């Protein structure tokens, strides 16, 4: 099969990277920085390769040679970079927004499930056939379980605020 390159698909894209044409999963370009310990390490010095972490330099040289990107998930030499106050406050604010959005989404979902439950009860009371009644009872039971789960998760989110 060799180095045949498929046209871009919905899953894989091709683009130049360090002088080579490389494949990447759609939406993942640049994401290695979000996961790689190097980008959170105080030893990383991309401006001065002489002062850079030796492991990071070796990996980068290998990446260039092989045309790959290798995020680091484990490292014995990791030194946590001091976080700036504004970065910390921004992260806290983002966490609060995420919790609020999640809490609001769960509240809306809970309302939707309760509304569906009320509809199912109404349908069941309108003298439906035995098989329809059984199906509606199962739906009502599943919805009650879903209500309990949503209420539980909402409580956890509220407690963590």
Residue 78 included in any domain? no
Confidence at residue 84, expressed as pLDDT on a 0 to 100 scale:
72
User: Of 77, 82, 67, whose CA–CA distance to 37 is shortest?
Assistant: 77
Q: Would you state the structure tokens that stand for residue 80, as one six-digit string?
A: 């946590």
For residue 51, give its domain range. 12-66
- For the chain, the three-class secondary structure string (H helix, E strand, C coil) is CCCCCCCCCCCEEEEEECCEEEEEECCCCCCHHHHCHHHHECCCCCCCCCCCCHHHHHHHHHHHHHCCCCCCCCCCCCCECCCCHHHHHHHHHHHHHHHHHHHHHHHHHHHHHHHHHHHHHHHHCCCCCHHHHHHHHHHHHHHHHHHHHHHHHHHHHHHCC
Q: Is the pTM of this model over 0.95?
A: no
C-beta separation of 30 from 13 below 8 A: no
For residue 5, what are the contacts with CB-CB under 8 A and spacing of at least 6?
Answer: 14, 21, 23
Same structural domain for residues 94 and 133?
yes
Same structural domain for residues 41 and 91?
no
- The pLDDT tens digits for 73-132 are 999 999 988 777 777 777 777 777 766 766 677 777 777 777 777 777 776 666 555 455
- The pLDDT tens digits for 30-50 are 888 888 999 889 999 988 888
Number of domains in the chain: 2
Residue 77 included in any domain? no
Same structural domain for residues 92 and 155?
yes
Residue 72 included in any domain? no
């Amino acid at each position: 099969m060799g180095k045949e390159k498929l046209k871009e698909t919905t899953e894989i894209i091709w683009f130049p990277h360090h002088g080579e044409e490389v494949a990447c999963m759609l939406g993942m370009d640049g994401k290695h920085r979000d996961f790689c310990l190097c980008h959170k390490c105080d030893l990383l010095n991309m401006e001065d390769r002489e002062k850079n972490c030796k492991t990071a330099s070796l990996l980068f040289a290998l990446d260039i040679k092989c045309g790959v990107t290798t995020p680091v998930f484990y490292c014995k030499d990791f030194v946590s970079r001091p976080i700036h106050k504004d970065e910390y406050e921004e992260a806290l604010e983002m966490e609060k927004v995420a919790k609020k959005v999640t809490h609001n989404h769960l509240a809306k979902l809970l309302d939707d499930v309760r509304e569906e439950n009320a509809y199912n009860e109404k349908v069941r009371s309108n003298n439906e056939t035995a098989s329809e009644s059984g199906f509606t009872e199962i739906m009502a039971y599943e919805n009650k379980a879903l209500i309990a789960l949503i209420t539980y998760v909402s409580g956890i989110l509220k407690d963590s605020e």
